[in-house]
Amino acid sequence: MLDFSLFQSHLFYLAQEAASDGGSGNFYAALNQLVNGIGIVGILLLTGLGLAITFGVMRIINLAHGEFIMLGAYVTVLMQEAFNLDLVLTIPFAFLGAALIGALTEVTVIRRLYGRPLETLLATWGLSIVIQGIVKILFTAQLKYVRAPSYISGNLTLISSTEGNPAVAISYYRLFIIAIALLLLALTTYLLYKTPLGRQVRAVAQNREMSKCLGVNTSMVDLLTFSYGCGLAGVAGAVLSALKSVSPPMGQDYLVDAWMVVVTGGVDKLVGTLAGAFIIGESNAAIAFFLNDPAARVIVLAAVIVLIRYRPEGLFTVQKRA
């Protein structure tokens, strides 16, 4: 079993050794920024995982992904207002709610647009506007707030300063987000690569016509896959609802970051989503320490654009037969 106190002592020793020249304040600040970057990685992985299914596996350009995140957050608001449920207990309901709306979307809109990326882009963009409008009618544009559980509030101190104050710390809620993201990544990997349904999903993604000839019900596979991707977005909305106020346009704040994660890591492998989240999250944190948050976002976005220009398949790809 890992002795966490020993780990803390080792970190403190390294910090004291590195800061022995008198620059301990800057060192602690830089290390704290990198540790907080891990929290950003968790958020990026959580928001990008659903898009890795709908776009990475199904090749659907879903510009309404942010709205499914928002729907998951509103399900959490409803569960807390109506039944006073703990946020953790609302996560399954957020998944089911977003998945059901995703299934309805696939049957009515997406199913008619497979193989037509431009029409899919326009349709999902229009769908995002419609969903926002419906949510405003049902819930108004007033901001909603979600209570975070008390047992995951506060901060975990990794290194204390010589005065005994926390020098490097990360919030328990960020650790909770990281744990949920990694759990969903492991579950999704298992479903895709270790189950018969996962093999059918990958077969349909690679060759739809041949899968039909082999007896695969491609319509049902498409329905389940798209619904699952939307459900993952709903879970992201439920978990992130305690970090910021819930409102109809909240999903747009995560849409661009989710797309950057997926296209950076590569659309064919889930490990690419994890790698893309880590690279973007830690790069953003490191650059923000030396400059500021807006400059960091601009630089990271520019770097992603350059990467797509010279490596459009992303960092991780699947070898395919010609």
Tens of pLDDT, residues 166-215 = 667 888 999 999 999 999 999 999 999 999 999 999 888 888 888 888 88
CA distances for 84 relative to 69, 89, 152, 167, 322, angstroms: 21, 10, 17, 36, 55
CA distances for 257 relative to 22, 243, 253, 299, angstroms: 37, 16, 8, 13
pTM for the structure as a whole: 0.87
| List of residues 6+ apart from 8 with CB closer than 8 A | 158, 159
pLDDT score recorded for residue 272: 86
Q: What is the mean pLDDT of the chain?
A: 85
Pick from 12, 27, 4, 3: nearest CA to 175:
4
Q: For the residues 221-239, what does the mean pLDDT come to?
A: 94
pLDDT score recorded for residue 75: 96
pLDDT above 90 for 101: yes
H/E/C letters for each residue in the chain? CCCHHHHHHHHHHHHHHHCCCCCHHHHHHHHHHHHHHHHHHHHHHHHHHHHHHHHHHCCCCCCCHHHHHHHHHHHHHHHHHHHCCCHHHHHHHHHHHHHHHHHHHHHHCHHHCCCCHHHHHHHHHHHHHHHHHHHHHHHCCCCECCCCCHHHCCEEEEEECCCCCEEEEEEHHHHHHHHHHHHHHHHHHHHHHHCHHHHHHHHHHHCHHHHHHCCCCHHHHHHHHHHHHHHHHHHHHHHHCCCCCECHHHHHHHHHHHHHHHHHHCCCCHHHHHHHHHHHHHHHHHHHHHCCHHHHHHHHHHHHHHHHHHCCCCCCCCCCCC
Dump pLDDT digits (tens) for 124-167: 999 999 999 999 999 988 999 998 888 888 888 877 666 656 66
pLDDT score recorded for residue 317: 65
